[in-house]
Amino acid sequence: MKIVRLCQFSDVDKLVELAHKAGPGMTTLKPDPGAQAARIDRVRRTIEGSAAIADQGYLFLMEETDTGEIVGVCGIETAVGLEQPFYTYRIDTSVYASREMHIWSKMDKLTISHDLTGYTELCSLFLDPLHRVSCNGALLSKSRFMFLAQFSDRFGERVCAEMRGVFDENGDSPFWRALGSHFYRIDFHEADRLVSLGKKSFLAELMPRFPVYIDFLPDDAKACIGATHKDTTPARHLLESEGLRLERHIDIFEAGPVLEARIDSLRVMRESGLCSVVISDTHKAAPSAPHLIATGKLKKFRTGLIYTAPEQGLIMLTPAEAKALQVSTGDQVRMMEAYPRRVV
C-alpha cells in the first residue's frame, strides 16, 4: 500500500535521489543533501512549535509500505513572503480610448507584485515517472488538502500553488529568454539555483520597475503565460478539481500559472468528514470509489487510498490497511472521496 507521511531525517538520501529525477524548474526540490536536511529540520521545528511563522513548513513523502521505497514528495509552506519576498507577475488590463477617433483598445500588462504575501503555499510536488499510474498522483497531491482540513488552525485564509511553466525542447524557457534574461543577465538555471538557496536580493535589485505590456513580447513567450509544463498538467488538473483557479498571477521566471483559493472554499472543507476505525479481516465491504483516508495525529499524520466507503460514521479496514496507516480500532480518521462527483 502506498501512503503519504511527514518526512524524517532518515529520508534525506532517498529525497536527494528523488530530486535528481525532477529536472529544471523545481526551485524547492534540488538534489542537495544539506538543503534537504535543513528543510526536514524546519518540519521538525514547525511541528514542535519552535519555528516562527515565516519559517514554518511541512514536507510529505509517498512511501511504498511493502518495500520502504520513496516515490514522491510534496510540501506545504505555512505563510510565504513574510521573510523572503514572494514575487509574482500580476496580469492587469489597461483600456485606451479616443472619442474623436472612435477607437478603443485593451492591453494586458505584467506588473511585479507581492499580493500573495501571507498565503499558504502548496509546493514541491513531484512523483517518480515510473509511478505515475493509477491514483498515485491524486493521493500525493490531495494528501495536502486532508492535512489542511485536519489542522486548519495552523494555516491562514488563502492558499496558492505555483505550477511549473513551459520549457522548449532544449530545456530553456521562452518567457525567460524574452523578458527575464534582459534584466537579470544570467542563465535561467543559475537564477533558479540562487532562488533555491534563498538568495533573492538580486530579484528586487534587477527586476523591471515598470509594467511590461504583453503585446510587446514574442509569440512564443506570450504562449507561455499561464501555461503549464506538460509533465505538470495532470497536477494542475488535480488542484483545479479541489477548487484552486488561475486568477491574475504567474511565475516571474517562466510564467507558469499561480493557482489560488480561499481555504474555506476548498472541496475538502465541504466534503470530508470524521469517522471511527473498525479493523476486521472477515468483513467484506462492497467495492467503492477510491476514498482518501487520513490519520488525525500531527506527528504521525498519514494519508492513503482505500476502496471502501464509510457507513454510519464507521470505516472498516483490513489489518494490512490499519498497519500501513498506523491506526487501531476506535481511532478517528478523516475521509473523503478522492475525486469530486460529476454532476449530470
| The residue type at 70 | I
Distances (CA, A) of 218 to 113, 212, 214: 22, 12, 9
Selecting among 20, 131, 229, 237, the annotated active-site residue is 229
CA quadruple 96, 101, 103, 104: dihedral, nearest 10: 20
The reply to whether 229 belongs to the active site is: yes
* β strands within the chain, DSSP E: 2-6, 57-64, 70-77, 88-98, 103-113, 120-127, 158-162, 212-213, 245-250, 257-262, 273-279, 291-295, 302-306, 314-317, 332-337
Distances (CA, A) of 338 to 125, 267, 341: 17, 11, 9
What is the distance between the alpha carbons of residues 33 and 41, in angstroms, rounded to a whole number?
12
- For every residue of 129-191, DSSP letters joined together read GGG-STTHHHHHHHHHHHHHHHTGGGS-SEEEEEPP----TTS--HHIIIIIHHHH-S-HHHH
The answer to whether the CB of 159 falls within 8 A of the CB of 244 is: yes
The closest alpha carbon to 294, from 332, 341, 329, belongs to: 332
- Read off the DSSP letter of residue 311: B
- Read off the DSSP letter of residue 205: H
What is the distance between the alpha carbons of residues 24 and 253, in angstroms, rounded to a whole number?
12
Burial 242-271 (b: 16+ CB within 10 A, else e): bbbebebbbbbbbbbbbbbbebeebbbbee
CB atoms within 10 A of CB 181: 16
The answer to whether the CB of 59 falls within 8 A of the CB of 6 is: yes
Residue positions annotated with a catalytic role = 229
